[in-house]
Amino acid sequence: MAIISLINRKGGVGKSTISINLAAGLATHESRKKNSKPVLLIDMDDQLSATITAMGGGFDDKFVPAISAEQNYASALGEGYGASDSLVVDSLIPRKRSEKVKIFRTNKVRMETLETTLKNKDEAAFQLTYFLEPIKNEYSYIIIDNPPSAGLLPTNSLVASTDVLIPIEQDGLSLIGLVDILKMIENIKHSTNPDLNVLGIVPSRFKLVRRQSRDVIKEVERRYGDLLMPYIKDLADISAATTAGYDVFSYCSEKSQAYRCFSNLVDAVLGKLGQD
């Protein structure tokens, strides 16, 4: 069992896209095993991008029941009621497999006030940990998508996680942002979760033709060596799959660059977890 958080305080770097496709890829990997367990995708961002994609995307409103549920995990997390496993439903990803990634029924309004609700609780940073404790072993992998912040919600995620993946874009400031995130992770390791492991840094939306992109990747490799994960190219197929409510493995052909980028990432994650 691994609980993997996707973290970056910067917006639009591919956290939700990687969460969706990593969850779908790990679910596919897991379903080939004999005693397979499901993958759970948790959405800690009130934009609910990961939930909306996993429930069929934005072209129609198939996802609405999953994001407006009366009994939802945002309330359960904030107010401590309800059995957490009764809030779990099947998503639609991976589209081509019967073993679907599980998600929590959620509620957009409750998600928008979750940080404030948690701030008023004792042990505010531990609420997700306590919430997952009774159910986490039912899953092979739990993937947590996070909002673009370094606040209490990502902190809850990092306290509850075994591993972290940091997607970065390759603009001039991304290396400075990376130092901040690694500091935040170090603080959480020292204060609450000493076993938290940085699985890797994922260059996301990578533009091969751009010199600056290649330079940033070289610099990440120089500074952080082994933490550099396979890059995800910036490809129209990837955003089209997300918009249509598909994972890349179901939307794109096996020979496509999008499919290969995410396969490489899933393989690297499994390798680093010692589960390939």
Ligand X SMILES: Nc1ncnc2c1ncn2[C@@H]1O[C@H](COP(=O)(O)OP(=O)(O)OP(=O)(O)O)[C@@H](O)[C@H]1O
Question: Where along the sequence are the contacts to ligand X (CB under 6 A)?
Answer: 11-17, 45, 47, 49, 148, 204-205, 232, 234-235, 238-239, 242
Region of 149 please: left (phi>0), alpha (psi -120 to 50) or beta. beta
Using the contact rule CB under 5 A, the part of the chain among 43-51, 86-94, 189-197, 203-211 near Mg ion is: 43-51
| 8-state DSSP, 87 | G
49 contributes a contact to Mg ion by CB under 5 A:
yes
Which residue type sits at 7? Answer: I
Half-sphere exposure of 54 (CA within 13 A, CB side): 35
Instruction: Residue 232: name its binding partner from Mg ion, ligand X, none (Cβ under 5 to 8 Å by kind).
Output: ligand X
Which two structure tokens, joined as six digits, stand for 32?
Answer: 């080939």
16 contributes a contact to Mg ion by CB under 5 A:
yes
Q: How far is the CB of 101 from ligand X (least distance, A)?
A: 16
100 contributes a contact to Mg ion by CB under 5 A:
no
Q: How far is the CB of 58 from ligand X (least distance, A)?
A: 10
Which two structure tokens, joined as six digits, stand for 209?
Answer: 């033709």
Instruction: Residue 238: name its binding partner from ligand X, Mg ion, none (Cβ under 5 to 8 Å by kind).
Output: ligand X
Q: 3-class SS at 5?
A: strand
19 contributes a contact to Mg ion by CB under 5 A:
no
- Of residues 15, 29, 205, 272, which one binds Mg ion by CB under 5 A? 15
Instruction: Residue 11: name its binding partner from Mg ion, ligand X, none (Cβ under 5 to 8 Å by kind).
Output: ligand X
Whose CA is closest to 125, among 42, 197, 200, 187?
Answer: 187
Q: How far is the CB of 213 from Mg ion (least distance, A)?
A: 21
Q: Which residue has the closest beta carbon to Mg ion? A: 16
Q: In Å, how far are 51, 65, 267 from 99, measured between CA atoms?
A: 17, 21, 19
Alpha helices in 47-126, H assignment, sequence order: 49-54, 64-67, 73-79, 108-119
